[in-house]
Structure 1
């Protein structure tokens, strides 16, 4: 948690000008469109879709921005992200990064 706070404090803006700070409540509402693949809880529902819960916010902002501008390519995500605003991206990143995950090591 301390590392996440330090990252957010250090990265006010990412390359491309997308602000990192978003509204997690707004992101939850927007995540309804993502739930078929990534789940509303951020746990993937498809084998080729990554889990989003617990990812750090700057990474999610960067990845969505890259899908939107075409520098990162994926057939589904390139279409899904093309109409996202900077605010949408920040909100989705805030929501998915705020989901708490539990890591259970193998016994």
Structure 2
């Protein structure tokens, strides 16, 4: 019985770690991203990537890499320096929820 309970606890804790961010909180935090990546995640500048519709896991990974310096871009490294893990999850949830075709 104890083994089953431990397994269930591990499954639940793993699920919590994989939980998606809060889209509404991400939308509120996204103001800092809009000058480069556009109000709806579609950039008007060809050198800045569109974020709308990107996969959530990709965005989380990219933002963490900018934050820890693994991925180098002076602007992005500075922009994400103060973001918490929850902020990153929320931003990724928001931008991944946007549909690129509906943002014109």
- TM above 0.5, yes or no, is yes
Q: Is the 8 A contact 1:20 1:57 kept in 2?
A: no
Q: Which runs of 5+ in 1 are unaligned?
A: 1-10
Query: CA RMSD for the aligned pairs?
Result: 2.1
Q: Structure 1-normalised TM-score?
A: 0.75
Q: Is the 8 A contact 2:42 2:100 kept in 1?
A: no
Q: Which runs of 5+ in 2 are unaligned?
A: 1-13
Q: Structure 2-normalised TM-score?
A: 0.77
Matches within 5 A, 1:47-58: 47-58=46-57
State the 1:48 CA deviation: 1.5
Matched, 1:95 2:94: yes
How many residues of Structure 1 are paired with residues of Structure 2 in the alignment?
89
Larger radius of gyration: 2
Counterpart for residue 33 of structure 1: 32
CA deviation string 1:34-79 (max 9, x = no partner): 1000012000132221000000000000000000000001011010
Q: Is the 8 A contact 1:53 1:99 kept in 2?
A: yes
Counterpart for residue 8 of structure 1: none
Distance 1:12 1:69, change over 3 A: farther
Counterpart for residue 77 of structure 1: 76
Greater helix content: 2
